[in-house]
Amino acid sequence: MDSIWTQTVTLPAFPALEGHVQADAAVIGGGITGLLTAHLLRREGVSVVLLEADRVGGGQTNRTTAKLTAQHGLKYHSLIQQVGIKTAGQYARANLEAVERLRRLVKEWNINCDFQDCTAYLYTQGPPAALVAEYNACRRLGMDVFLTKDTQLPFPAQALGLRNQALFHPLKLLAALLDGLTVFEHSRVLEVKGHTLRTEQGSVTAGTIIFACHYPFVNFPGWYFLRQHQERSYVLALEGAGAMGDCYLGLDGAGLSFRPLGDLLLLGGGGHRTGENRQGGKYAELVRAAEGFWPGCRVVSRWSAQDCMPMDGIPYIGSFSKNRPDWLVATGFQKWGMTSSVIAAEVLSNLVLGRKLSPDHAVFSPQRFHGKASVKQLAGDTIQAVRGLSRRVLAPGRIPAETLPAGHGGIVKLNGEKVGVYRTEDGTLLAVSVKCPHLGCQLEWNPDEKSWDCPCHGSRFDVYGHLLDGPAQKDGECQEEIAGCNTKKLQLPGSD
Ligand code: FES
């Protein structure tokens, strides 16, 4: 199902890139980061082309809940412990300023994107120790926070509030930023060499190349696939749920989040590492929770999002690598893409323009290394990658294809080969290779999205093997034939 944003705004269509184009800067990625960066550069007289693999706003910008806040979960207590108060202060100030900056830009540029002020809350129904520690950390960093038991939640809870945050419609913002930009859609960048990038039907040569595509697809240099993993989470748009004016993020259990949207309420939760949802049931859990809170409420839309989680909990924004000073990158936004994209647009545009960066933006340098903060996640990600690779080679198929019910998928062994099989509602078995085309880990079935997801770095594919999310750059392989269990020859649509 499309997100509620797509159901309410249609963005204009743009042609695919054909032939060769020259520009001062080429931006890869048509989300908020890419468009805001391109827009800021164009206003300064820089010639920019923007390339989007699918449709503008078709990636994570369309799947966000669009909460513009510097409150990033239990962030600041942990940041002070891991990277020290100076760096934590830079992170806090940069994110607080990002909220103010977008507020100013929306006003100055007269953008109608349903921008509304709110207070952002973290809440718990359990012991408040973590909330109090976060409150103390935020106060040390000069943030305007307060503790309260007075909330709009449908249950008693204690909460930590941060005033003067905001909500907006992400696609309405994109619609305004598109004005005057040179954009090419359906133009996946397949290769970047030096100052030239290549798509299927064209190429661009630019003084600066900006990777604003959620997850950088170039493995070397940069090594971003070793420096972050991806996580998924799920959202329902509800009619007939309780009225709220502010947004809430839970610290307990499924981490339920609440975000008002006109007469609707967005209920989020069910987060997990990509590739680790074999049992499914995430949407069902949210529906059960909603019905418990507001009997008779109705789901009008549901969707899921994917987030890049950097090793030390801080986005990578700046120079792609020491060896590539003319490549810039913005990634690792965690679940906080709204403030991160505003910061990224400012940093990246200033780098292109040769302007001095704010001292607070040093915290986002991709060339940093915070050993204490990074070691634990690096170890976890490495174990996950080894597991994903060895599972494909060593672990047996899990289920006989004959027993797969309609609408379900699983990993089976057929003719000595392990394949991922999905049974369509009419009984057809569709098989894909379980070898991820990125770096070869074993794909896993995600029943909630009916997709094949990679636990190593988060690439995703539909039941035909079509690429949904990177860092992989190409479709998965379709198995040619499955014999012996009511099967048919399989081909990717459009292939010979
Ligand atoms: Fe890297 Fe699958 S996404 S191996």
**22 Cβ contact list (under 8 Å, min separation 6):** 204, 205, 206
Question: Do residue 355 and residue 467 come from a single domain?
Answer: no
Pocket of ligand 1 (CB under 6 A): 225, 436, 438-441, 454, 456-459, 471-472
Residues 6+ apart with CB under 8 A from 333: 307, 308, 315, 340, 341, 344
Q: Looking at ligand 1, which residue's alpha carbon is closest to its atom 4?
A: 439
Pocket test for ligand 1, best of 232, 308, 459 (most atoms within 8 A of CB): 459
Please give the distance, rounded to the nearest whole angstrom, from the Cα atom of residue 6 to the centre of ligand 1. 28
Looking at ligand 1, which atom is closest to the CA of residue 443? 2
Of 217, 210, 214, 212, the C-alpha closest to 191 is 217
- Domain contains 459: yes
Ligand 1 atom nearest 472 alpha carbon? 3
> Averaged over 333-343, what is the pLDDT?
97
Asked whether residue 330 is domain-assigned, the answer is yes
pLDDT of residue 428: 86
Q: If you measure from the C-alpha of residue 473 to the centroid of ligand 1, how many angstroms do you get, rounded to a whole number?
A: 10
Mean pLDDT of 89-94: 98
Angle, vertex CA 477, rays to CA 476 and CA 480, nearest 5 = 155
Q: Pairing between strand 158-167 and 116-124?
A: antiparallel
Does 389 reside within a domain?
no
Of 434, 441, 467, best ligand 1 pocket probe by most atoms within 8 Å of the beta carbon: 441
Token pair for 275: 């590739």
Do 360 and 433 belong together in one domain?
no
pTM above 0.85? Answer: yes
Q: What is the pLDDT of residue 392?
A: 60
Those residues with Cβ within 8 angstroms of residue 42's Cβ, 6 or more apart along the chain or in another chain: 48, 180, 181
Is residue 495 pLDDT above 50, yes or no?
no
Q: Stretch 98-104: mean pLDDT, rounded?
A: 98
Is the same domain home to 9 and 56?
yes
Residue 230, pLDDT score: 97
Query: Do residues 332 and 429 share a domain?
Result: no
* Cα 57 to ligand 1 centroid, rounded to whole Å: 24
pLDDT tens per residue across span 389-431: 666 665 666 677 788 889 999 998 777 778 899 999 988 888 8
CA of 457 to the centre of ligand 1 (A): 5
pLDDT of residue 394: 57
Shared-domain flag, residues 459 and 362: no
- 428 is in which domain, residue-wise? 401-482
CA of 334 to the centre of ligand 1 (A): 18
Please choose, from the candidates 61, 14, 11, 71, the residue with its C-alpha nearest in 3D space to the C-alpha of residue 33.
Answer: 61
Average pLDDT over residues 259-277: 96
Cα of 159 vs centre of ligand 1, distance in Å, is 38
pLDDT band at 253 (very low <50, low <70, confident <90, very high): confident
Say which CATH number the domain at 412 has.
Answer: 2.102.10.10
Q: For residue 396, how many other CB atoms are within 10 A of its CB?
A: 8
Write the CATH number for 188.
3.50.50.60
Which of 306, 438, 443, 477 has most ligand 1 atoms within 8 Å of its beta carbon, as the pocket-test mutant?
438
Same domain, 216 and 364: yes
Beta bridge partner(s), residue 261: 264
What pLDDT, in 10s, does the model give residues 346-366? 999 999 999 999 999 999 999
Structure tokens at 74: 């239990």
Instruction: Indicate whether 178 pLDDT > 80.
Output: yes
- Label residue 493 by pLDDT band (50, 70, 90): very low
Stretch 291-300: mean pLDDT: 97
pLDDT of residue 380: 72
For a pLDDT cut of 70, what percent of the chain falls above it? 91
- pLDDT the model gives residue 403: 83
pLDDT at residue 11 is higher than 60? yes
Taking 70 as the threshold, does the pLDDT of residue 136 lie above it?
yes
Q: Is residue 132 part of a domain?
A: no
Mean pLDDT (whole number) for 259-270? 97
Same-domain pairing of 347 and 467: no
Judge whether 32 lies within some domain. yes
Give the lowest-confidence range in 119-128, 201-210, 369-378, 388-397. 388-397
pLDDT, position 494: 45
* Angle value at C-alpha 350, between 170 and 366, nearest 5 degrees: 80
Residues 338 and 437 in one domain: no
Q: Same domain for 463 and 408?
A: yes
Q: Which residue has the higher pLDDT, 428 or 459?
A: 459
Domain count, the chain: 2
The verdict on residue 458 lying in a domain is yes
Query: Measured from the CA of 439, which atom of ligand 1 is nearest?
Result: 4
218 and 176 co-located in one domain: yes
Phi–psi pair at 7, nearest 5 degrees: -70, -15
Ligand 1 center to residue 225 CA distance, Å? 8
Ligand 1: which of 229, 387, 451, 457 to mutate, most ligand atoms within 8 Å of CB? 457
Other Cβ atoms less than 10 A from the Cβ of 253: the count is: 11
* pLDDT of 491: 47
pLDDT score of 166 more than 70:
yes
The residue that leads in pLDDT, 459 or 496, is 459
Position in ligand 1 atom list of the atom nearest CA 470: 3
In a domain, 182, yes or no: yes
Q: Higher confidence at residue 380 or residue 445?
A: 445
The rounded mean pLDDT for the chain is 92
Residue 264 CA to residue 186 CA, distance in Å, equals 32
Regarding beta strands 316-321 and 257-261, do their DSSP bridges make them parallel or antiparallel, or are they unpaired?
unpaired
Residue 300: band (very low, low, confident or very high) from pLDDT cuts 50, 70, 90 = very high
Rounded Cα–Cα distance for residues 111 and 222 (Å): 36
State yes or no: pLDDT of 275 exceeds 60. yes
* CA 389 to ligand 1 center in whole angstroms: 9
Of 456, 475, 477, which is best to mutate to test ligand 1, by the most ligand atoms within 8 angstroms of its C-beta?
456
Across residues 428-436, what is the average pLDDT?
Answer: 90
pLDDT (tens digit per residue) in 12-49: 999 999 999 999 999 999 999 999 999 999 999 999 99
Gap from CA of 480 to ligand 1 centroid (Å): 22
- Comparing CA positions, the residue from 172, 174, 205, 233 lying closest to residue 36 is 174
Same domain flag for 317 and 448: no
Asked if the model's pLDDT at residue 490 lies above 80, the reply is: no
Question: Does residue 342 share a domain with residue 467?
Answer: no
Q: How far is the CA of 435 from the centre of ligand 1 (A)?
A: 9
What is the spatial distance between Cα 250 and Cα 255, in angstroms, rounded to a whole number? 4
Judge whether 347 and 317 are in contact, CB under 8 Å. yes
Task: Confirm whether 88 is domain-assigned.
Answer: no
C-alpha to C-alpha distances, 490 to 254, 314, 425, 436, 478, nearest whole angstrom = 38, 43, 16, 18, 7
| pLDDT computed for residue 480 by the predictor | 55
